[in-house]
Amino acid sequence: MSDRIDKAWVERCLNGEKKVFGNILDKYQGIIFNLAFRMISNRDDAADVTQNVFLKAYSRLSLFDPKYKFFSWLYRIAVNESLKFVKKATGVKDYDLNEAPGSTENDQSFEETEQSNVLNTIVNSLQPDYRIVIVLRHYQELTYLEISELLNIPEKTVKSRLFSARKLLREKLLKKGVLLSG
């Protein structure tokens, strides 16, 4: 149902009703910002990346293939723009890729907040190819298949990167003295 509505909005935009793109922006801005923020860890930069995502989507709307889900197309643009920003900011090797962050619950303990802050800092210190799979799997809750499709890499590569990223996270968390359950 939601995808049908998205496709109808896209069609209306392409037929000259430019203001309808505001519906798409309203619907997906929070999700796209959340992804960018998880990758970049800076609100201003994440807002810039989010804006770039929607500008790029709007300018390339005619390239959208209605055989596919609109959200997947938009999310892929967001992943690519976030990776491009991280690469530019850190000088990382180029990639070959064709709701605002959740606030802390009032009843969350100080220790849980501190552990969460340490975890976020460590996730942000990972190299981008590890960071993106962690963000997409654990923060965005995508399946291995969805991540594979978004990043245009085999599912086995997704699993391998997740394994390596989790191992690095565990090692870094243990060094920081964060207790791990399980």
pLDDT, one tens digit per residue, over 23-79 is 999 999 999 999 899 888 889 999 999 999 999 999 999 999 999 889 989 998 998
Query: Which structural domain range is residue 139 located in?
Result: 105-182
What is the predicted pLDDT for the residue at 19?
Answer: 93
Give the span between the Cα atoms of 137 and 131, in whole angstroms: 10
102, 132, 160 — which closes off a domain? Answer: 102
* 76 in the same domain as 130: no
* 132 in the same domain as 117: yes
Position 98 pLDDT exceeds 50: no
Write the CATH number for 165.
Answer: 1.10.10.10
Distant-in-sequence, close-in-space partners of 48: CB < 8 Å, separation ≥ 6: 85
102, 122, 152 — which closes off a domain? Answer: 102
What is the predicted pLDDT for the residue at 60?
Answer: 93
* 151 in the same domain as 84: no
Mean pLDDT along residues 120-127? 80
* 15 in the same domain as 93: yes
* 112 in the same domain as 86: no
* 148 in the same domain as 88: no
Count of structural domains, the chain:
2
Model confidence, pTM:
0.66
* 73 in the same domain as 3: yes
* 116 in the same domain as 47: no
102, 122, 154 — which closes off a domain? Answer: 102
Please give the residue that has the higher pLDDT: either 97 or 84. Answer: 84
Mean pLDDT along residues 123-133? 85
* 56 in the same domain as 80: yes
Write the CATH number for 46.
Answer: 1.10.1740.10
Closest listed residue to residue 131, CA positions, set 100, 99, 95: 95
* 91 in the same domain as 43: yes
Give the span between the Cα atoms of 118 and 120, in whole angstroms: 5
Most confident of 60-69, 80-89, 140-149: 60-69
